[in-house]
Amino acid sequence: MAVLSDDKRKLIGQLQKHLLRWQGFKPSENHPEGIGLGPIEKAFPNTIFPMGSIHEFIGTTPEQTAATSGFIGGVLAALMRKGGVCLWISTSNRLFPPAIKLFGVEPDRVIFIEARREKDVLWALEEALKCDRLIAAVAELREMDFSQSLRLQLAVEKSRVTGFVLRSNPLRVGNTACAARWHITPLPSEVEEGMPGVGMPKWGVQLLKVRNGNPGYWEINWSAGQFMDASKPAKVSELPMRNRKIG
């Protein structure tokens, strides 16, 4: 392969950035500083968490689904910081509303939709993603094939709503048109040396697939109402009193 000169490389880099911008990876006017995911955001093209696209979360056990719900809650909190509403669509209605308050989402600003079948969840999600007044829509789905995900992706490209698909224990993972595929696993929480009790939630965040980005693995904590890079643990004494763990 021919070695590219620095100028050319710079030019190509700039062109790539333009292309991404046209594809919709532009900094949102509401979130110029990102959504607080720290190092993970660097994995995305232009180092911007893609809003207005579909994110797919794979969870194989109920514990992972619970961890994923918490993680999505944290992302939703950042997206909904300036107000707005989001939808949570499922067939089981297992999410415990008071708990997402702990991740910064006002549970009364989430509208829960219970559907009879998976098909109805998909229909509701597509309708919701077409409505540009929403901030985000979360759907708990088991199976989703490529054409279904493409329909969702086309809907969000018009409305700029962020869609989250939480797939618990799918039979076939398959290929989808989603912007990113995540896998969140719960990790042993960290407590200060010699202290009893359970610490703040800690997750292993794995980006299995990122469109135009770099997959990777990170460990993060949820503490003081925000995501924290687990490699630089925060001292409990630095946390504001109201965010310390009680119980």
36 part of the interface to another protein, by CB under 8 A: no
Beta carbon nearer to another protein, 99 or 239:
99
Residue 192: CB minimum distance to another protein, A: 12
Q: Name the one residue in this structure whose structure tokens are 């799918």.
A: 170
- Please state the φ and ψ torsions of residue 19, each to the nearest 5 degrees: -60, -45
> How many angstroms separate the Cα of 43 from the Cα of each of 13, 50, 51, 221, 229?
16, 11, 14, 18, 14
Answer for the pair 219, 207: CB distance below 8 angstroms, yes or no: no
Residue 185: CB minimum distance to another protein, A: 8
Among 55-63, 143-151, 170-178, 229-237, the segment contacting another protein (CB under 8 A): 55-63
- By CB under 8 A, the residues from 105 to 144 that bind another protein are 106-117, 119-120, 123-124, 127-128, 131-134
224 part of the interface to another protein, by CB under 8 A: no
Tokens of 194: 């010699």
- By CB under 8 A, the residues from 139 to 198 that bind another protein are 185-189, 191, 196-198
- The one-character DSSP state at 174 is -
Residue 180: CB minimum distance to another protein, A: 19
Answer for the pair 191, 197: CB distance below 8 angstroms, yes or no: yes
Coil/strand/helix, residue 213: coil
Tokens of 241: 């009193």
Beta carbon nearer to another protein, 82 or 232:
82
- By CB under 8 A, the residues from 201 to 220 that bind another protein are 201-203
Residue 130: CB minimum distance to another protein, A: 8
Contacts within 8 Å (CB) and 24+ apart, 94-100: 94/140, 95/69, 99/70, 99/73, 100/69, 100/73, 100/76
Sole binder of another protein in the list 53, 65, 149, 176 (CB under 8 A) = 65
> How many angstroms separate the Cα of 57 from the Cα of each of 65, 76, 136, 173, 206?
9, 14, 15, 10, 10
Among 7-15, 104-112, 205-213, 227-235, the segment contacting another protein (CB under 8 A): 104-112
Site residues (vs another protein, CB under 8 A): 61-63, 65-67, 69-71, 73, 82-85, 93-103, 106-117, 119-120, 123-124, 127-128, 131-134, 185-189, 191, 196-199, 201-203, 222, 245-247
